[in-house]
Structure 1
């Protein structure tokens, strides 16, 4: 009769909403997890900031405030991190990897800045590094990029990767309410943090876009490489204008492989954009996430589901933990960092985009011709024009064909200075349509 398999010992960093769900799932599913892995999984310790807080269902004897000691304990095999932030979390995870532990993390901010450091330690000391929960919650997205599509050439990734902003924009579209009051409602319902800056200013989505681009294009991309705009400037007038054109507004993360005469490069950006209501992403509402992946052989793939929350995120963490534990049982290793392509990241000025421009102008002969002349001067082609007169003024809406973002921005700047242009009401990019 064979010896019982040695338990896989897990150190958990963080026991908030996600950490508590991880403890629950590890406890309730212990027999199934042992059968799937080939060995039981046991919690060796849980690092928390304060010991006195009530944590129903969490064994008090496992709690510690000494994360630095826990991650290097000889009996620990895997460190699972759901604290977030950069320091001291980065130091703890590097110490864990240097001690030969495998690491599972949901920390998008850390990965978007220091994934290269973590992978270097993983390669040197032999532990695995898994991070499915860092992007899009429970949606299995990163593993397909790392593994399932490893034999293909990914050309574009575009999607909704922040549930808070998607809830706000969906509500603005449905109710016609303004940004401020919708943000307040999102906070009341628990969809927005007390300080929503990371979400509404696009930092959260930018970190996720950096991770997606790094995996998709085999190139190290950091959050600082990502062009970023948030949603606080989106107005009910923008939402109404989009609706009049059969579009809706979403905060999109867009990662593209760009072929130019000078060679390949990568463009990564996060910003609100108008998309057609017929586009599959237009129907992704509330706090849900969805991501389109385009690859040369596989074609278009769409990943959709819960993008955040305790249970969905814990599900993704547990999936990674099972993979890491299986590798420990059989003596295998997970995928390493793939950054061989080392493609340059293009600035937003060189990215090819389309603009929706809304102007308040004087309603008189020659205005449209003069505006069109500015577009021609900057070699920007106009796709559609809509003008509505009101007394002595008019609303002029122009949608362009694709052009370099720098040319589009210069066009808008020059139009703003024309004597008959009272105001540039809004400028928004357009995605999801043939250019």
Structure 2
């Protein structure tokens, strides 16, 4: 065991930052044995020095300006737990790497937007850039794909990548409640932020999917190429119809790469009961990857919170302490391909469509005519409810066909006086 500790600067002392300190304290001897040396926090920085975080911070040097952590001579690795794609987090990352220090982050937005730049800088400086905690919390999916499945060509990656959304959809499923009621309860219990937009609108999951796609396929990060739709428009009727058909509603991120380019999408889907992702409930994350030689891989576990995320951060520190650097995305940045964006309209799939309509004669004929004119083949259709001022629910499933056909059909129906609100479209995952 080396007599020289790995000296760490910790930027951000929120739930995860405090969790890192607690984990390093609680498992100090075990971590040292696995790392081959002790890992010690040398300096910290956060916005509020007086806040009680449940750990003793008096033993660490305190820096008010977070960027100053990068220049400290008593620091080998900087851990960034501030968040945000730009601003102080990005400044710290650039300065730390330029100063020849390893960099560990849980910041999925920064890696999704600036990961290639930072990885290239880390390669040039000969330092490690690690971000296991940025995707799926304590689930080692980055390491699993980058290292464990390194010899495989990955065809597709599917995942439940946001615990808040999965908790809300699971609760709607269990209680028959509407979205707004479950969201309010999730906020009260701390499962959802006061402003939950990044989660429920799918942005958080899209950041993670862009990172997964880069690791899985060796393509440059392309967050702007992710097609994103969140769960705001899912209603209790959708959950009930899905159950009646033998499906569950989940927010699924899908990334696939082939000769047509890179396809990335985050959207609510109907997932067949029996599929690995259908049984994932609560605030759990899960990722399914298909390798050409290894077959199906399933990664599942707690995707957020103090313990799981701190565990992933410290696992990265242990790798650095062992001298395990490697390239951030599993290959040099120069080897990452600039894949074209695949045409989402060409993707063949079945779909669930839900309409809220006026309860009057001719509405169903209007809907079916719109589907016919768009080139959509209807597999099943059902109308629920006796009709009132809020309208009635009409749900249909389609036979497999190109996604552009569904889009064309909905475009033909747009502006119809028969429709109340926006139709809901969810791909069907069998």
Same fold (TM over 0.5): yes
Question: Is 1:82 the counterpart of 2:70 in the alignment?
Answer: no
Question: Is 1:68 the counterpart of 2:67 in the alignment?
Answer: yes
Question: Is 1:39 the counterpart of 2:37 in the alignment?
Answer: yes
| SS state at 1:431 partner | strand
Q: Which runs of 5+ in 2 are unaligned?
A: none
Mapping of residues 288-367 of structure 1, within 5 Å: 288-327=284-323, 333-337=325-329, 338=331, 339-359=335-355, 360=357
**Per-residue deviation at 1:136?**
0.5
Q: Which runs of 5+ in 1 are unaligned?
A: none
| SS state at 1:84 partner | coil
Distance in 1, Cα, partners of 2:336 & 2:422: 44
Distance in 1, Cα, partners of 2:226 & 2:160: 15
Distance in 1, Cα, partners of 2:194 & 2:416: 42
Q: Which moved more, 1:314-323 or 1:54-63?
A: 54-63
Answer yes or no: is the 8 Å Cα contact 2:156–2:256 preserved in 1.
Answer: yes
Name the residue aligned to 2:237. 237
Answer yes or no: is the 8 Å Cα contact 1:416–1:424 preserved in 2.
Answer: no
Question: Is 1:126 the counterpart of 2:126 in the alignment?
Answer: yes
- CA 1:418–1:202: 2 relative to 1, 3 Å: closer
**Per-residue deviation at 1:365?**
8.5
TM-score (norm 1): 0.89
Distance in 2, Cα, partners of 1:235 & 1:377: 27
RMSD in angstroms over aligned alpha carbons? 2.5
| SS state at 2:71 partner | coil
Answer yes or no: is the 8 Å Cα contact 1:273–1:429 preserved in 2.
Answer: yes
Q: 1:413 aligns with which of 411, 414, 420?
A: 411
Q: 2:17 aligns with which of 19, 22, 27?
A: 19
Question: Is 1:268 the counterpart of 2:264 in the alignment?
Answer: yes
Deviations 1:219-275 (A, max 9, x none): 1133222111111111112122212212221111111124xxxx3311101111111
Answer yes or no: is the 8 Å Cα contact 2:44–2:63 preserved in 1.
Answer: yes
Name the residue aligned to 2:427. 430
- CA 1:145–1:4: 2 relative to 1, 3 Å: closer
Distance in 2, Cα, partners of 1:200 & 1:354: 24
Name the residue aligned to 2:96. 96
TM-score (norm 2): 0.90
**Per-residue deviation at 1:417?**
6.1
Answer yes or no: is the 8 Å Cα contact 1:132–1:140 preserved in 2.
Answer: yes
What count of residue pairs does the alignment treat as equivalent?
A: 421
Name the residue aligned to 1:139. 139
Answer yes or no: is the 8 Å Cα contact 1:139–1:316 preserved in 2.
Answer: yes
Answer yes or no: is the 8 Å Cα contact 1:207–1:222 preserved in 2.
Answer: no
Distance in 2, Cα, partners of 1:171 & 1:17: 25
- CA 1:373–1:56: 2 relative to 1, 3 Å: closer
Answer yes or no: is the 8 Å Cα contact 2:352–2:428 preserved in 1.
Answer: no
| SS state at 2:8 partner | strand
